[in-house]
Amino acid sequence: MKRKREDMEIVWQTPANPPERQDYIFRNGVRYVKPYYFEFISHVKNRWAGKTIVDLFAEEFKGRPYEYYVSAVKCGRIQVDGQVVPVSYIVWSSQKISHFLHRHEPPVMACDVSILQKEPDVLTVCKPASVPVHPCGQYRKNTIVGILQAEHDLAPLFPIHRLDRLVSGLLILARSASKADLFRQQIEAGLVQKQYIAKVIGVFPEDEQVVNLNVNYNAREGRSTVEVGDCCDGNDNKSVKGKSACTKFTRISTNGTHSIVLCEPITGRTHQIRVHLKHTGHPIANDMLYLSEFVTDRSSEGLSADRAAVKSSHSLTSNSHENSINGSEENSIEDFSIDLMCTNCPNLAPKGYDGNEEGLWLHCFRYTGPDWIYECPYPDWASLS
**Residue 227 to residues 230, 238, 272, 276: CA-CA distances in angstroms?**
10, 12, 12, 10
Contact 199, 258 (CB under 8 A): yes
Sheet holding 24-27, edge to edge: 24-27, 30-33, 108-109
Q: Is 130 left (phi over 0), alpha (psi -120 to 50) or beta?
A: left
26-148-175 Cα angle (round to 5): 170
Contact 157, 174 (CB under 8 A): yes
* CA–CA separation, 204 and 209 (whole Å): 9
57: nearest Cα among 79, 37, 39, 35: 79
Q: CA 204 from chain center: how many Å? A: 30
Q: What are the residue ranges of helices labelled H in the chain? A: 53-60, 66-74, 144-152, 177-188, 272-280, 288-291
**Residue 349 to residues 106, 217, 345: CA-CA distances in angstroms?**
5, 28, 9
DSSP string across 314-327? --TTS--S--EETT
164 is catalytic: yes
Spot the catalytic one: 23, 153, 164, 297. Answer: 164
3-state percent helix, strand, coil for the chain, nearest multiple of 5 = 15, 30, 55
Q: Which residues are catalytic?
A: 164
